[in-house]
Chains A and B, each alone.
Chain A
């Protein structure tokens, strides 16, 4: 188990798929308590960046330091400090929500996985439906279970790919509140989203991505949607 890290440092990160560059020399740093938004059109490289940060993909060039540790050196101990919610939710539809959470809790070595899973389902407002198969859930309900799965082991770095997809207004507001709680706990949150209005005011900083590159724009003070438009259109 590695010590909790306070800073994430990304340096000149590139990822090529053959001749296509999914990411090109991306650099940034963020600290515990930051909520960083990865914003950009489809194909901008947001999911690739999240996969590299989640140690699921090796970069073609560049480095990621989690505190002082890289993904290769951190290994399983580092992965224990990372939580990830993917666009595909990472849940087994043939298992119940409770079984999913207990399974992943045990994969993370949690000795109290059943108790934590039950608590997580209560928090997601699904306590009474915990024994239902995930295949019978709506997209929004699955999204809530998937978020609890990502948070079950209390990660230091939380990576979210389109976390607001399928959520109604109340659920989206609940997710924002939940992210603020995690932020207060010192969790470093990086999320990719197109829901600019929902995350406006939540993010502590934004990275505007286009064609795998970070757009160099001044932060400004206006609404996020205006800044996004000027960043992406200006490039």
Chain B
């Protein structure tokens, strides 16, 4: 188990080192996410008043779309010199490589959400500080479920020519339950009278999805990548 985390950490650290030098994925993902939120703000905010109950949906749409962009790019680096093969050849638990890539994705998406959440709060007058820990739990759990499936599919499609087209087609139908739970849970916190109980329910459901998706991804990563 110690070796599993060591390898996962090596992969995360390498990805962070590369990203810190290029800022390629962070900048494009962040720019895209901000653009999505701003476009919605122009359409849905009139005279300083947003349409009711849209903030949660916009937050998750921006997260999902920008996350998809990041997922496609994060494995592009492994494709360029076929380094994914070198990683698979290393005498490490192959699922640890997946875990490392997933952790890197979560850090990246977390960084984007740190900017997105205040922006959505500001533009759509969402009460983001009413239940900050519940909101954080929803975002962490929802992002984990989304990225768990996305990282697996991105790895599977790394050598496919139409990776950028195929990734959302495969990813969105499977992550729809995660998106619904994330939107409903966040909406429960953002509504006029926040419903803490309902938010807790959606958090629990998201955690269930996380366990299922992460377990399945860890289990299938090696056979899928060597077939």
Residues of A within 8 A of B (CB): 51, 54-58, 76-80, 82, 84, 86-95, 99, 103-104, 106-109, 149
CA distance in complex: A35, B92 (Å): 27
Pick from B3, B10, B81, B87 the residue with the most CB of A within 10 Å.
B81
Q: List 13 A-B contacts (CB under 8 A).
A: A51-B85, A56-B226, A76-B93, A79-B91, A80-B91, A86-B86, A90-B81, A90-B83, A94-B22, A95-B14, A95-B17, A109-B91, A149-B86
Q: Contact: A94 with B86, CB < 8 Å?
A: no
Residues of A contacting B: mostly: loop
Interface residues of B (CB under 8 A from A): 3, 7, 10, 14, 17-18, 21-22, 77, 80-83, 85-93, 226-227
A56-B88 contact given A92-B14, A95-B17, A99-B17, CB 8 Å threshold: yes
Contact A109 B88 (CB under 8 A): no
Which A residues lie within 8 Å of B87 (CB)?
Answer: 107
Chain A residue at minimal CB-CB distance from B87: A107
* Shortest CB distance A7–B (Å): 21
- Give the interface centre of B82, B85, B90, B226 by most chain A CB atoms within 10 Å: B90
Say whether, besides A56-B226, A107-B90, A94 and B77 are in contact (CB < 8 Å). yes
B85 close to A90 (CB less than 8 A): yes
Residues of B within 8 A of A93 (CB): 80-81
B91 contact set on A, CB distance < 8 A: 76-80, 108-109
Q: Are B88's CB and A108's CB within 8 A?
A: no
| Cβ contact within 8 Å between A79 and B89 | yes
Residues of B within 8 Å of A92, CB to CB, are 14, 18, 77, 81, 83
